[in-house]
Amino acid sequence: MKKLITYCTLVILISSFFSYLFYLKIMTSGVIQKKLVILDYCSNNNEYNDAIFIGASRVQTHISPRIIDSIAGITSYCLSINAIGIVEGHMVLKKYLQNHPKPKAVFFNIDFNMFFTSGPLNNITDFLPYLNDTLIYNALSPYKTAYRNKLVAGYWLLQKIFATTDKSKAISFSIYEADKPSVESKLAYKGYTPRIINWRKDADENLKNTGTATYQQEGFDLLNDIIKICYRDSIKLIFIYAPYLAEGKKNILNFNEVIDKVKAIAQKNNVPYWDYSLMTICNSKKYFFDPIHLNYEGSIIYSKQLGYDIKKLFQEKNN
């Protein structure tokens, strides 16, 4: 029995040691550190932008402010944090407006699986260092105990350090280059980080899977509050739905149910809904690296189309 206890103790200590080494590798490589650089930008910068784009990875990898600015003759910025939902997107908008001059337009990227609030919020531990900020705390704490209780926060931090199933560790050592930060740093610009890669090896497997989106009414309440914030500050708000591979969209069993709710909110409040999931490029894997993410070539085509639409919007607004 004593040998068994000793053996188990050694296994736990050794596995914890190597897991911690993995964690250190991630921290030093910047996978976690750079994830919230946008939140730092919202908090510590006060430059003016005519337009801002808010969303998760489908803003981060899809929308090029360089292309849009050159076409529309404006200044824009992508406020994108990977894997965020409506809770964090709502917070990012409020934090940006706290320190920056009001933009003329806010483009809020809609995703079918972003309207959950009581479920597990993504990137829980990444936001912990920012909770001393009153606005951030008040925006996040109602939806996650970890943001209100230091013991719970400590538990999640230990999970981040020692859990062998931690997704960030898997990404750090993934054989799929698309999971890693783009090495083409010269193309990264104002929150835009493209993925220079073709259709992924495992993406075809993803196409075989069906699923449903999780959502709660509170998620749509936050969307309504975003509308109120923009109306209060006389900011033009536009909902956009980024390109999505047509073959993959049909596998989301309640896709239309969720999007119809968004469209109803948009129509009721006179908010434009720009649906780019109907673009021609959505019929070809050539422009994607997985069913929901454009590759670099696809992002250029999308950004150009978005740029021309924004140019038209601003011209109409000026007239």
| pLDDT tens sequence across 227-281 | 999 999 999 999 999 999 999 888 889 999 999 999 999 999 999 999 999 999 9
Average confidence (pLDDT) over 290-307: 96
Residue 174 pLDDT > 50: no
Look at 45-54, 57-66, 163-172 and tell me which has the smallest mean pLDDT. 163-172
Asked whether 293 and 179 are in contact (CB, 8 A), the reply is: no
Look at 38-52, 153-167, 211-225 and tell me which has the smallest mean pLDDT. 153-167
Residue 297 pLDDT > 60: yes
Residue 202 pLDDT > 90: no
Q: How confident is the model at residue 183 (pLDDT cuts 50, 70, 90)?
A: very low
Burial of 81 by CB count in 10 Å (0-12 exposed, 13-18 middle, 19+ buried)?
Answer: buried
Provide the pLDDT for residue 13.
Answer: 66
Instruction: Tell me if the domain spanning 2-318 has CATH number 3.40.50.1110.
Output: yes
pTM for this predicted structure: 0.85
Q: How confident is the model at residue 314 (pLDDT cuts 50, 70, 90)?
A: very high
Question: Percentage of residues in the chain with pLDDT exceeding 90?
Answer: 61
Provide the pLDDT for residue 60.
Answer: 94
Provide the pLDDT for residue 22.
Answer: 59
Residue 166 pLDDT > 80: no
Residue 159 pLDDT > 80: no
Distance (Å, whole) CA 23 – CA 84: 21
For the chain, what is the mean pLDDT?
85
How many CB atoms neighbour CB 39 within 10 A? 22
Residue 11 pLDDT > 70: no
Provide the pLDDT for residue 162.
Answer: 62
Provide the pLDDT for residue 171.
Answer: 46
| Domain map (residue ranges) of the chain | 2-318
pLDDT tens for 80-135 read: 998 899 999 999 999 999 999 999 999 999 999 999 998 767 778 889 889 999 99
